[in-house]
Amino acid sequence: MTTMNGNQPPAIRVRGAYKTYDGRSYVLRGLNMTVSQGTIYGLLGPSGCGKSTLLNAIVGLVGLEAGEISTSMETKSDLGFMPQQMALYERMNTFETLSYYGNIAGMSDEEIKKRSDYLIKFLEIPTAVKDNISLSGGQRRRLSLAAALINNPPVIVLDEPTVGVDPLLRQSIWSYLIHLTEKENKTVVITTHYIEETSQAHKIGLMRSGVLISEDTPKNLLSQNNSRSLEETFMRLSHLQECDKLHDEKTDEVIRHNTYEKPSKPAFTEKSKSFKSKRFKAEIMKNFLFVKRDFIVILFTVLVPITTILCAHFAEHGEPSPYRLGVVNEEFPSGSNACERWQLPKNESCDFANLSCRFLKNLETKQIFPVELASKEQGLIMVRRAEIWGIIRFPRNYSEALERRTALQPINDNPDKDKIIDSSTVDVWLDESNVIIDYLLKLHLYDVILDTLADVYNKCGWPLRVVQLPIKMEPVYLSQRLDTFELDPRDSVLPVMIIVLMFTMPMLYGIAVFMEERLCGACARSIVAGVTPFEMMISHLVVQMIIHTLQMASASLMMYGFLGYDIRNIPITLTLVFTQGFPGIAFSFFLPLVVNSLIAVGIICTGFVFLCVTVSGAIWPVEGFHPLLRSLIWLNPMRYSSTATFHSSYKGWGLEEPTILYGFGSLLSWTVIFVIAIYLAIVLSKNRVFLGKNA
Ligand SMILES: Nc1ncnc2c1ncn2[C@@H]1O[C@H](COP(=O)(O)OP(=O)(O)OP(=O)(O)O)[C@@H](O)[C@H]1O
């Protein structure tokens, strides 16, 4: 046992600490603790008594309900902290981990190298493994200890550093800690479950039920309690505490009436919080390292937009063909085969004969193939079995009636007009369960009937416009890509798609990376080590922007370059597509700050993207939405930007158009809203949002 440096000023002083996680049961119940400078303080207690909570409160990871903690630490690099959770970045290796924490502490590369070599050798940490996941539990614990000691800080707080460490190395660690305190005036607070090893500490705090039941040198503890071992002392004191109800009752009274004083300041905050380029460099290097390690994932996030655009292009490539349509041809009751036996009229002859056959022939030009039916009822059964999309029935004398109908001038004078009209009308029953197929089939049937008649009129030398609908339509904007009058739904769907992708991909990547860091405790450890939220976020932002630029450039090249979609206003379109990443990235910072569960984040993200796509206008035009939904549409961060992208790319609109300004306005507003939300979450929680569920 070593002598206690009792005359030193306290390096850590805890007074009246109260802590509850759930607002009901208290983990710390008015705890007092004094750690003198240049000493080892061994904190002992049964599992769950609050040791880690106390250490986390000392280093500023956990906020107190009441009480005060004062320390001799001036800056965060004065503290070396090893959390119980270890909180190491799994994808770093040994050297990278030590270099990261060394850089945060402001060490030079040379100092880091020297110190790392020493600690690696002393703590027997393997260096040949490619990342920290490949280390065993004990090896990881030793690496975590090395990270806490890398900059040789004056105050060292270690939560169970010797668990899983063999007895020889355990003794070396204790000898090293004694050396640090006695020769270098360092202060060490250490928790352990191996009670006897704390006999080497200068002072032992015995903790039970949220209070220290005793705080003294090992020698005094043994003699005052007349025990042969510290284990025996602890059992004895615990028994005494059981009998001392008074203390508990007093504490309960304070808790019940909330009469404890609220802490005037957080446990330990760095006095200078200015931006440090060395720490920023450490964060940037860490994030780039992960990009390198996650190369396949990054590649995936770049490939997903390209492939989605490519798939959307080919998925909407053509009509859903061929269609199968049942035919009941009463004009040829012996079957439509009769059509083949029929001699189709010569090109020149003006003839209405066998029009149903000509109609069926023309159907094939629209990829609609007739399936001969004996009756309408047989067809209905086939429609219900999804074997055909519908039934078309030609009445008996269809051709003759249509000729007579054409010749009716004026129709009202003819006494047989109803019969003629009925016989010249084709009956159609359609499945109608698929709105797009139903719509296209109807359009084709109209077209085919008009084409068939137009053919006859052509041969008869009659004016074609008589059989056409009395309306003439021409497009104002023609797709440059297609250069035809035909409408292509992809021209309006893909601009929405690229916008959704540019919002979603940076958001998903950012959330995944940030959430992983936060949940493994590494984010909290970095904050305790001195990284400011600003440095952390800006370094993530730099990396995210680079990845987003790659995603945006490759997706735009694919869509506007390779597939040739219209991009009449190149600068505005590309700026809109690029800017769409801003709210996505901002959201990726915000969500992990306020949600602690990976499952919840996954569900929220997926739900959010589904919701935004549903109300983006890609599935159905916004003009057709329910008025209530339309009034809420501005809540979708992709709504105005996708419309603006469509108009700038397809029509060449620029900043003089309000639609384009709305697009940019909405993007910037959402970015600002998310940034304010991040700021509020950080400021209102006093940085605790970074610390995960501990806070
Ligand atoms: N983040 C948290 N949220 C809710 N409860 C918590 C949290 N952290 C700790 N607790 C609870 O606080 C109590 C004290 O936990 P703590 O980890 O401080 O104990 P400990 O003495 O360090 O235990 P051990 O020796 O097993 O590590 C436990 O009952 C635990 O369930």
Q: How far apart are CA 538 and CA 277, in angstroms?
A: 12
Give a yes or no: residue 346 inside a domain.
Answer: yes
Q: Mean pLDDT throughout 678-685?
A: 86
Atom of ligand 1 nearest to the CA of 56: 18
Confidence of residue 484 (pLDDT cuts 50, 70, 90): low
SS3 210: coil
Angle 636-641-643 from CA coordinates, rounded to 5°: 100
CA of 499 to the centre of ligand 1 (A): 45
> Are 508 and 575 found together in one domain?
yes
Q: Return the pLDDT at 673.
A: 96
Chosen domain end from 153, 173, 199: 153
Q: How far apart are CA 633 and CA 638, in angstroms?
A: 10
> Are 647 and 561 found together in one domain?
yes
Q: Closest residue (by CA) to atom 9 of ligand 1?
A: 53
CA of 21 to the centre of ligand 1 (A): 9
CA of 202 to the centre of ligand 1 (A): 26
Q: Return the pLDDT at 695.
A: 46
Q: Closest residue (by CA) to atom 24 of ligand 1?
A: 47
Q: How many domains are there within the chain?
A: 4
CA of 105 to the centre of ligand 1 (A): 29
- Tokens at 668, concatenated: 């910037």
CA of 571 to the centre of ligand 1 (A): 56
Confidence of residue 2 (pLDDT cuts 50, 70, 90): very low
- What ipTM is given for this predicted complex? 0.97
> Are 449 and 560 found together in one domain?
no
Q: Return the pLDDT at 426.
A: 92
Q: Which amino acid is at 417?
A: K
CA of 48 to the centre of ligand 1 (A): 5
> Are 97 and 213 found together in one domain?
no
Confidence of residue 250 (pLDDT cuts 50, 70, 90): low
> Are 64 and 91 found together in one domain?
no
CA of 20 to the centre of ligand 1 (A): 10
Asked if 506 contacts 547 with a C-beta cutoff of 8 angstroms, the reply is yes
Q: Which domain holds residue 178?
A: 1-73+155-262
Confidence of residue 1 (pLDDT cuts 50, 70, 90): very low
Give a yes or no: residue 477 inside a domain.
Answer: no
CA of 54 to the centre of ligand 1 (A): 10
Atom of ligand 1 nearest to the CA of 50: 18
Asked if 63 contacts 118 with a C-beta cutoff of 8 angstroms, the reply is no
CA of 56 to the centre of ligand 1 (A): 10
CA of 101 to the centre of ligand 1 (A): 26
Q: Among 44, 49, 212, which residue has the most ligand 1 atoms within 8 Å of its CB, making it the best to mutate?
A: 49
> Are 519 and 584 found together in one domain?
yes
Q: For 399-451, write each residue's pLDDT tens digit.
A: 989 888 876 555 566 777 788 888 889 999 999 898 888 998 999 999 999 98
Give a yes or no: residue 191 inside a domain.
Answer: yes
Give a yes or no: residue 305 inside a domain.
Answer: yes
Q: Among 52, 141, 162, 190, which residue has the most ligand 1 atoms within 8 Å of its CB, making it the best to mutate?
A: 52
Give a yes or no: residue 271 inside a domain.
Answer: no
Asked if 389 contacts 437 with a C-beta cutoff of 8 angstroms, the reply is yes
Domain with residue 210: its CATH number is: 3.40.50.300
Q: Closest residue (by CA) to atom 1 of ligand 1?
A: 694
Q: For 126-152, write each residue's pLDDT tens digit.
A: 888 888 888 888 888 899 999 999 999
CA of 88 to the centre of ligand 1 (A): 20
Residues whose CB falls within 8 Å of the CB of residue 629, separated by 6 or more in sequence, listed in order? 615
Q: Closest residue (by CA) to atom 27 of ligand 1?
A: 47
Give a yes or no: residue 221 inside a domain.
Answer: yes
Q: Among 14, 51, 62, 596, which residue has the most ligand 1 atoms within 8 Å of its CB, making it the best to mutate?
A: 51
Q: Mean pLDDT throughout 165-176?
A: 87
Q: How far apart are CA 49 and CA 664, in angstroms?
A: 55
Q: Return the pLDDT at 485.
A: 58
Chosen domain end from 466, 481, 500: 466
Q: Closest residue (by CA) to atom 26 of ligand 1?
A: 47
Q: Which residue has the tokens 């109807």?
A: 442
Q: Kindly give the interhelix angle for 109-122 and 94-104, rounded to the nearest 10 degrees.
A: 130
Least Cα distance to 140 among 208, 89, 174, 183 occurs for 89
Atom of ligand 1 nearest to the CA of 53: 18
Q: For 635-652, write each residue's pLDDT tens digit.
A: 889 989 999 999 999 999
Atom of ligand 1 nearest to the CA of 21: 4
161-190: burial string, b at 16+ Cβ within 10 Å, e else: bbeebeeeebeebbebbbebbbeeebbbbb
Q: Return the pLDDT at 642.
A: 92
Max mean pLDDT range (5-14, 27-36, 65-74, 515-524): 27-36
Atom of ligand 1 nearest to the CA of 693: 1
CA of 694 to the centre of ligand 1 (A): 9
Q: For 650-669, write each residue's pLDDT tens digit.
A: 999 999 999 999 999 999 99
For the chain, give the mean pLDDT.
86
Q: Closest residue (by CA) to atom 10 of ligand 1?
A: 21
> Are 495 and 634 found together in one domain?
yes
Give a yes or no: residue 438 inside a domain.
Answer: yes
Q: Closest residue (by CA) to atom 17 of ligand 1?
A: 52
CA of 12 to the centre of ligand 1 (A): 21
CA of 208 to the centre of ligand 1 (A): 13
Atom of ligand 1 nearest to the CA of 692: 1
Q: Mean pLDDT throughout 474-479?
A: 79
Q: Among 27, 58, 238, which residue has the most ligand 1 atoms within 8 Å of its CB, making it the best to mutate?
A: 27
CA of 685 to the centre of ligand 1 (A): 21
- Tokens at 503, concatenated: 């919002």
> Are 200 and 290 found together in one domain?
no
> Are 252 and 366 found together in one domain?
no
- Residues lining ligand 1, Cβ inside 6 A: 21, 27, 45, 47-53, 84, 693-694
Q: Among 25, 28, 53, which residue has the most ligand 1 atoms within 8 Å of its CB, making it the best to mutate?
A: 53
> Are 65 and 143 found together in one domain?
no
Confidence of residue 252 (pLDDT cuts 50, 70, 90): low
Chosen domain end from 128, 153, 178: 153
CA of 695 to the centre of ligand 1 (A): 12
Asked if 462 contacts 352 with a C-beta cutoff of 8 angstroms, the reply is no
Q: Closest residue (by CA) to atom 25 of ligand 1?
A: 47
Q: Return the pLDDT at 430.
A: 93
User: Hey, CA dihedral for 407, 412, 413, 418, is it positive or negative?
Assistant: positive
> Are 235 and 91 found together in one domain?
no
Q: How far apart are CA 376 and CA 45, in angstroms?
A: 86
Give a yes or no: residue 275 inside a domain.
Answer: no
Q: How far apart are CA 10 and CA 14, in angstroms?
A: 10
Q: Closest residue (by CA) to atom 5 of ligand 1?
A: 21
CA of 198 to the centre of ligand 1 (A): 21
- Percentage of residues of the chain with pLDDT beyond 70: 89
Q: Give yes or no for residue 268 having a pLDDT over 60.
A: no
Atom of ligand 1 nearest to the CA of 45: 21
Q: Which amino acid is at 443?
A: L
> Are 339 and 462 found together in one domain?
yes
